[in-house]
Amino acid sequence: MITAQNLTKTYGSKVVVNNISFTVEDGKITGFLGPNGAGKSTTMRAMLGLDNAQGSTLYDGAPLSGYEQPSQVVGILLDAKSFHPKRSARNHLKVLAQASNIPLTRVDEVLSLVGLQDVANKKPGKFSLGMAQRLGIAAAILGQPKHLILDEPANGLDPEGIHWLRDFLHAYVANGNSVLISSHLLSEMQLMAHNLVVIGKGTMIANQSVDSFIQSASTGAVFVRTTDLNALATQLTQRGIVWVGERNGLKVTGATSDQLSALLFELGMPVLELAAENVSLEDAFLKMTAGAQEYRATPGGQN
Amino acid sequence: MFGILKSEFTKILTLRSTYIVFGVLVLFAILGGIIAGYSPASDSGKVFVSTTVFQSAISGVLTLSIGVFAIVSSLVIMNEYRHNTIAYTLTASRSRLTVFLAKVITVIAYGLTVALALSLIAVLSATVMLAISGGTVTTQKVEIGALILHLGLYVSFYMLVGLFLGFILRNIIVVIVIIFALPVVENLLSIALKEGALYLPFRSFGALASTGEAAASASVVVTAFAYLLGLAALAVVLFVKRDA
């Protein structure tokens, strides 16, 4: 388990990470979300001791400096293009393996695992972003670490690559490992992550499971459509249930779809449409981070 | 520590630019040897050969290429920041001081190895030139011990100066300007400072290369060490304290 405690990072008078604490549980993928400039990358760098920050991060109860080979405790991918562009992919990984006393046979293993075996001797300077990401993932898993910290590893990956990454990470945590992953691909994160840590402007917004995060953003509204909307509206009002007219039906809050179904049956009205509001992670994220965005574009592309 | 050292050497040896730079330095060495070994016949047809041809060839090539040594050394750390590999390097070790020490050992070992190779090539080149000129090698006087000590120190100093500047500045342009322009500025200052100019940073480093009667005085050597230690201390503090 990774435990980040009271992480705070300032640049001059600007506080970019403000007293953030969270855990990355074993056996689970923890998504790390936040708008641009929220402080996600800075938090990750602080967790690894790359940036000097206040607070501490413990990996299974000990700081990273307490391990003889830190890169065999935590694998990192902070920037897809973290390699010398003129050093071949194989040699790049060989350098990392030697520094961490990892057997060199592991280099070809991870290259095969990420599908880069055919370009192992090519210089990565000309790699596409997706290929660079794969090389970064290979570097992260080189030492078979228990923990992974990945900063937007899905960026630039093709659909097959994203699918592979999702399956790979699920298999990775199934062995009791933990993964902290940041991404702006929220639909992908909804499929991939078990827990979420959401920050905005350097402060904690949410730290919970994906399901409860989505649930907390949901109004619980149910859309219902039947033949006599006026009669239904009257009945709802009499029962103290709130509704508003929407399209050619009613948006009802304060009653579940089961309750509404039973009411319509009782009233002898046919059910033409009955659907609980479907809140996506994106909807929940936008709702929860509204006002916590460092950079905001002009709505609708207006100028 | 051993793993990190191996990794540092692999970083240098797996880049083509390492060999291109070495190739250029070999050309310098051949040229230096030719110039040092060139002994034209006098009007009477007799060839006069200096007794310090080899020493001149070695000193000449190392003095000529010392700036390149320093730049190469600075790239050992600056490339890490430029290409964002520093995160991997730092998370491979439990202490930044270990990384610092590994880089110090690497650049000294690399510098001395290249210097030795260039010296041998320069001597070989001078020998060939002497033979062409009709001179004889047996007349050579080489103070091996002093040469190794002084030139070894000279090369090591420049390798370390380049490395420490790289740690401190993280900017190749500024490092190049300092390494190539500052000695010129010091030369200009020496007009005003006269003997005192020997205590300027690069003048004191350069004085380490001289042997025999021209060898630097103890106070100049101490000054050179003081500059180097100052740079080292600043480099360590900034490397440990600054964000990667």
Both structure tokens of B22: 């070495």
Q: B92 vs chain A: nearest CA distance in angstroms?
A: 5
pTM (predicted TM-score)? 0.85
pLDDT of residue A278: 81
Q: Please tell me which of the candidates B6, B15, B87 has its beta carbon nearest to residue A84.
A: B15
Of A32-36, A152-156, B8-12, B193-197, which gets the smallest average pLDDT? Answer: B193-197
| Domains with residue ranges and CATH for chain A | 2-216 (3.40.50.300), 219-276 (3.30.70)
Q: Tell if the CB–CB gap between A95 and B241 is shorter than 8 Å.
A: no
Q: What is the DSSP letter of A172?
A: H
pLDDT of residue A40: 95
A180: three-class secondary structure by DSSP: strand
pLDDT of residue B6: 96
Q: Please tell me which of the candidates A52, A84, A95 has its beta carbon nearest to residue B7.
A: A95
Binning pLDDT at 50, 70 and 90, where does residue B54 land?
Answer: confident
Cα–Cα distances (Å) from B189 to A130, A264, B186, in that order, read 55, 98, 5
State the complex-level ipTM. Answer: 0.87
Phi first, then psi: give them for residue A27, nearest 5 degrees. Answer: 80, 5
With contact defined as beta carbons under 8 Å apart, do B35 and B122 qualify? no
Cα–Cα distances (Å) from A127 to A136, A226, A262, A301, B69, in that order, read 12, 57, 59, 32, 31
Q: Is B208 a residue whose pLDDT tops 60? A: yes
Which residues in A lie closer than 8 A to residue B86 (C-beta atoms)? 50
Whether B92 has its CB under 8 Å from any CB of chain A: the answer is yes
Which residues in A lie closer than 8 A to residue B88 (C-beta atoms)? 71, 76, 82, 96, 99, 139
**How many alpha carbons lie under 13 Å from residue B183 in its C-beta half-sphere?**
15
Q: Residue B215 region, left (φ>0) first, then alpha (ψ -120 to 50), else beta? A: beta
Q: Is the model more confident about B198 or about B27?
A: B27
Q: Is A251 a residue whose pLDDT tops 80? A: yes
pLDDT of residue B138: 61
pLDDT of residue B213: 74
Residue closest to B126 by CA, chosen among B231, B75, B185, B56:
B56
Q: Is A297 a residue whose pLDDT tops 80? A: no
Whether B95 has its CB under 8 Å from any CB of chain A: the answer is yes
Q: B2 vs chain A: nearest CA distance in angstroms?
A: 8
pLDDT of residue B135: 66
B106 CB-near residues (< 8 Å, 6+ apart): B5, B8, B9, B12, B76
With contact defined as beta carbons under 8 Å apart, do B88 and A71 qualify? yes
